[in-house]
Amino acid sequence: MSQTALKRNKHDRPYKRLPQGKTGGVQLLLIHNVEHLGKQGELVEVRRGYALNYLLPQGLATIATDHHRRMIEKHREKLRLVELERLKAFRAQADEIEKQSITIEANANDEGHLYGSVGAHEIVDALKQQGITLAQDQVRLQGPLKELGLYTVKIHLHSDVEADLKVWVVPTAGE
């Protein structure tokens, strides 16, 4: 065999034969739920770059072969039960969050305007002190909190589960 035949072309990829969808995208089978795309076990069509650079390397999807489709059908009930358990856990966490009320101290002027702002980072830190761990992207703010007062903040736990958290922004104790 010639040496050029042994060399691997830089454009060769392990997924060069991806199934083509109806609109020219790539057909994949979702292994996990992907927000704004689909649920576990669904057949989706995405752009090639999204498939190659995110979904396949992260293990969120697999190539939609007949074998994978049969495996999903075979285990669909088990997957549904696992998803129901996850939803139950998220709903329990949402109930726990809705019972909480957190207080965040911030520097403010006499009119109640903050010198800075309160964002998702401060809310996540305050919840962590109460034993609830969240990621910053789960806190859905309309914008940074820039005044003293009581705010209701949405906490996004799952595509089907959200919780409302009461956040008090108060002046620092020295004022």
Pick from 38-42, 58-62, 98-102: least confident: 38-42
* pLDDT band with cut points at 50, 70 and 90 for residue 123: very high
Output 43-50 pairs: Cβ under 8 A, ≥24 positions apart.
43/69, 45/21, 48/18
Choose among 90, 100, 91: nearest CA to 167: 100
Backbone angles phi, psi at 72, to 5 degrees: -65, -45
Q: Mind listing the pLDDT tens digit for each residue in 47-71? A: 989 999 999 999 899 888 888 878 8
* pLDDT band with cut points at 50, 70 and 90 for residue 20: confident
Choose among 121, 123, 168: nearest CA to 147: 168
Q: Which domains does the chain have, with CATH numbers?
A: 3-64 (3.40.5.10), 94-171 (3.10.430.100)
pTM of the model: 0.65
Position 11 scores a pLDDT of 53
Position 39 scores a pLDDT of 84
Q: What proportion of the chain, given as a percentage, has pLDDT over 70?
A: 90
